[in-house]
Amino acid sequence: VAFNVPFNITLRHRTELRAGEEPRCVSWQAVGTKGRWTPSGCTRVGGDTLHSICACTHFSTFAILAAIHPITESFALTVVTYVGMSVSLVCLFLAIITFLLCRSLWSVSVTLHLQLSICLFT
């Protein structure tokens, strides 16, 4: 729901703002099954180091984002993430195959573990 006249909302910061931090009022925008924080429709109009006053033109989930420098992705963290996910998916696939092929071990517990493995794999 969008409004012609903005309304003010006061948000408390989790920690006190430090020198150089510039808080931004943002709202959650759902995009398909995912979402992102967007500054559209919401601007910071006042506040201090502990609170921010945002003027917004729509209802949503609001937050304050503050950073003293642009956030960059670490190459090492990206590599560890992809290697870890790959190993996890291979192990889950092997667990699924094991649960399906070992009918002699079949029980309610094995069935539940199979279903959990399939859910985690997808």
Q: If you write DSSP's letter for every residue of 84-114 in order, what string do you get? A: HHHHHHHHHHHHHHHHHH-GGG-SHHHHHHH
Bridge partner residues of 46 (DSSP): 53
pTM of the model: 0.51
pLDDT greater than 90 at residue 84: yes
Residue with more model confidence, 68 or 74: 74
pLDDT above 70: percentage of residues in the chain: 94
pLDDT greater than 80 at residue 1: no
Q: How confident is the model at residue 92 (pLDDT cuts 50, 70, 90)?
A: very high
